[in-house]
Amino acid sequence: MKLFDGIQTTPPLPRPVLTMGVFDGVHRGHQELLQQLKNWAKEVQGTSVVLTFFPHPKVVLEKTKDFPYICSLPHRLLLLEKEGVDVVILEPFTPQFAAMEAMDFLQYLTQKLNCRHLLLGPDGRFGHQAKGNLQLLERIAPALSLHIRTVRPVRWQQAPKISSTYIREMIQAGKFSQIQENLGRPFSLFGKVVPGDGLGKQIGFPTANIDTEGALLPPFGVYALNVNIYQRNPVPSASSACFQPLAAYRGIANIGVRPTTQRSSKPQVEVHIPQFHGDLYGKYLELFFLGKIREEKKFASLEELSHQIQKDCQLLANFS
């Protein structure tokens, strides 16, 4: 998958077939849209292109602070890569971009990207005040030589449609089976390993501190995990992925404020991988949650904490 920073920096692409959206979570609805995008690109012997935005439009338009992302931006890029699209264009969502009228935006797409194939999701809107919609597209498509297709909403079981709001509620409640049903995959967090205070290593259980970049966290506690380790490629190309998988392990994660040491005022994600011995700084970890081992707890001493972590690791075998 090729990644470009904005429409302006994107070079000419062979027969781009484009869809656009935030794609937060890359859930079942997004997956259906991306599958149809790839099918259409194959049909016209073109390039499947996803135009995605960061930050979320609500951050800019409604000045929403601490927007509850289902997944961080690096995680979104990883998930889009796993879906097998050819190109992702990451467009900064700025007040200037938000002010662009719908017609001007379409002309911008056709001129800058030579886009002649546009796939619109069921709730697809674009342009200033979201005035751009399917009706506008159908009216002006002939003048812009645009071929338009749409995707119907994806329904799952009794739900009227897949809902990002519902998925966020389930993450906060720690209901992993419901999350998986709507995402179409197990719930996971993804982030870069950043330096910590080294306390885990001091007590015999080294931990990797994960920067999840604003992604919603499940309730505080200790969890059993499958852990995938990645290395990021700074210059992804057709033959080089954004994230290169390195290894996979079992592990445990503590999510919380570390009450035993009282060293954190904001929630932290710390991961211990019993069978890993090496340096993880700068690597990326994808954490698949298998289940909850216990609640986060304040211990009387670091020795008591160490003994409990040992018991937590032994319980890993109970999760599959």
Which residues in the chain are classed under CATH 2.40.30.30? 187-318
Q: Which two tokens stand for residue 272?
A: 């211990």
Do the Cβ atoms of 191 and 72 come closer than 8 Å? yes
Only one residue has tokens 């900064």, namely: 92
pLDDT value for 258: 87
- Is 38 in a helix, a strand, or coil? helix
Count of helices and strands (H, E) across the chain: 10, 12
d(CA 101, CA 130): 9
DSSP code at position 247: E
Residue 124, pLDDT score? 84
Residues 6+ positions from 316 with CB-CB distance below 8 Å:
224, 250, 251, 252, 274
pTM, two decimal places? 0.91
CATH superfamily of 2-150: HUPs (3.40.50.620)
| Numbered ranges of CATH 3.40.50.620 in the chain | 2-150
Residue 56 burial (C-beta neighbours within 10 Å; 0-12, 13-18, 19+):
middle
Q: Give, as one character, the DSSP assignment of residue 7.
A: G
CA separation for the pair 207, 112 (Å, rounded): 46
Cα-atom radius of gyration of the chain, to the nearest Å?
22
In the block, which residue shows the tokens 């997944």?
71
In 3-state terms, what secondary structure has residue 187? coil
| Structure-block tokens of residue 118 | 């546009």
List strand residue ranges (DSSP E) for 166-259, in order: 188-194, 208-211, 221-232, 243-256
CA distance 11 to 13: 6
Cα separation, 168 vs 184, in Å, equals 15
Which residue has 């979201």 as its token pair?
Answer: 130
CA distance 280 to 254: 17
Beta bridge partners of 228: 248, 286
Reading the chain (320 residues) residue by residue, the pLDDT tens digits are 999 999 999 999 999 999 999 999 999 999 999 999 999 999 999 999 999 999 999 999 988 888 999 999 999 999 999 999 999 999 999 999 999 999 999 999 999 999 999 999 887 889 998 899 888 998 999 999 999 999 987 766 655 568 888 999 999 999 999 999 999 999 999 999 999 888 888 888 999 999 998 899 999 999 999 999 999 987 655 545 789 999 999 999 999 998 888 766 789 999 999 999 999 999 999 999 999 999 999 999 999 999 999 999 999 999 98
Residue 262, pLDDT score: 73
Q: How many CA atoms within 13 Å lie on the side-chain side of 163?
A: 11
Alpha carbon distance 292, 289 (integer Å): 8
Of the CA atoms within 13 Å of residue 166, those in its CB half-sphere come to 15
Q: Which CATH number fits domain 187-318: 3.50.50.60, 3.40.1410.10, 1.10.490.10, 2.40.30.30?
A: 2.40.30.30
**Contact of 210 with 192, CB cutoff 8 Å:** yes
Alpha carbons 109 and 118: distance in angstroms, whole number: 10
